[in-house]
């Protein structure tokens, strides 16, 4: 069964450094998402992406964050200058169609630790 | 603001016990509701979802959930749990016109053999 994959599984970085989290969505999916879960808190939506554009973003997704689909398979989340509070598990997801009834398929997550 | 609540944060059951995990949402309009499960070391997987029709939804692995609009609830049930059901269970909702899932805090279920 096709799965969403994410790399790396763990990343440790220094405050102020740039990080890029990578995701390979399911191959025929067209809609892509990033979520994060700070330890002990809820999974929170960050951004959705379709047709090379951001379709929706949360208030968390400020100018420090960006997303890109650099080629036909990868979907990346870049944090330009990491802060301590960016430490979290970051989940990528993808779906075949768009809209509120679509099932989103999640990757295993990247645990980011900012020191 | 719209939110999803899961009031049971940790549940411990013995094998063969019945399970009911609570999920409530706060939104008066049309909602779509999902239950996901995350087994240890694995990714979130869809158990079931509801967006219209029969309010009793059957999912994979013997799980079911009932949408009760008057109670703003979508509780997950299983008549007899197994040790392999040990996992974290997440309720989520989407609203009309939006892509984003709104998640509850999750419930950690431990089933004792």
For chain B, the structural domain boundaries read 3-112
pLDDT at A72 over 90: no
Domains of chain A: 5-96 (2.60.40.10)
Q: Do B44 and A106 touch (CB under 8 A)?
A: yes
User: Long-range pairs for A103-107 at CB < 8 Å and ≥24 separation?
Assistant: A103/B34, A103/B46, A103/B49, A104/A33, A104/B101, A105/A3, A105/A4, A105/A25, A105/A26, A105/A29, A105/B46, A106/A4, A106/A35, A106/B36, A106/B43, A106/B44, A106/B45, A107/A3, A107/A4, A107/A5, A107/A6, A107/A23, A107/B43
Looking at CA atoms only, how far is residue A14 from chain B in angstroms?
Answer: 26
Q: For position B28, what pLDDT does the model report?
A: 80
Tell me what pLDDT residue B29 has: 84
* C-alpha A68: how far from chain center: 10
Would you give the distance in Å from CA B80 to the centre of its chain? Answer: 16
**Contact across the interface for B43 and A107, Cβ inside 8 Å:** yes
Could you report the per-residue pLDDT of B39-86, keeping only the tens digit for each? 998 999 999 999 999 999 999 999 999 999 999 999 999 999 999 999
Inter-chain contact A103–B94, Cβ cutoff 8 Å?
Answer: no
Q: How many Cβ pairs within 8 Å bridge chains A and B?
A: 58
Q: Is residue B1 scored above 80 in pLDDT?
A: no
Per CB distance under 8 Å, which residues of B are interface residues toward A?
Answer: 32, 34, 36, 42-46, 49, 51, 90, 92, 94-106
pLDDT recorded at residue A61: 96
Task: Pick the residue from chain A with its C-alpha nearest to B4.
Answer: A42
Summarised one tens digit per residue, pLDDT across range A83-94 is: 999 999 999 999
User: Domain B3-112 is classified in which CATH homologous superfamily?
Assistant: Immunoglobulins (2.60.40.10)
Residues of chain B positioned with their CB less than 8 A from the CB of A41: 105
């Amino acid at each position: 069964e096709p799965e969403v994959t994410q790399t790396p599984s763990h990343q440790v970085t220094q405050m102020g450094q740039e990080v890029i989290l990578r995701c390979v969505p399911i191959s025929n999916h067209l809609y892509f998402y990033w979520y994060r879960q700070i330890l002990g808190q809820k999974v929170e939506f960050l951004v959705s992406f379709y047709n090379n554009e951001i379709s929706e973003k949360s208030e968390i997704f400020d100018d420090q964050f960006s997303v890109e689909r650099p080629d036909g398979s990868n979907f990346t989340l870049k944090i330009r200058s990491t802060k301590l509070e960016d430490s979290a598990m970051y989940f990528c997801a993808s779906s075949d169609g768009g809209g509120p009834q679509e099932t989103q398929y999640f990757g295993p997550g990247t645990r980011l630790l900012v020191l | 603001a719209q939110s999803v609540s899961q009031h049971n944060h940790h549940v411990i059951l013995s094998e063969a016990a019945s399970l009911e995990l609570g999920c409530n949402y706060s939104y008066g309009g049309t909602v779509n509701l999902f239950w996901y499960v995350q087994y240890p070391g694995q990714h979130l997987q869809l158990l079931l979802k509801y967006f219209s029709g029969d309010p009793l939804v059957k999912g994979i692995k013997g799980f079911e959930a009932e949408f009760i609009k008057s109670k703003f609830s979508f509780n997950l049930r299983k008549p007899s749990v197994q040790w392999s059901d040990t996992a974290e269970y997440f309720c989520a909702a989407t609203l009309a016109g939006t892509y984003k899932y709104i998640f509850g805090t999750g419930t950690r279920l431990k089933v004792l053999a």
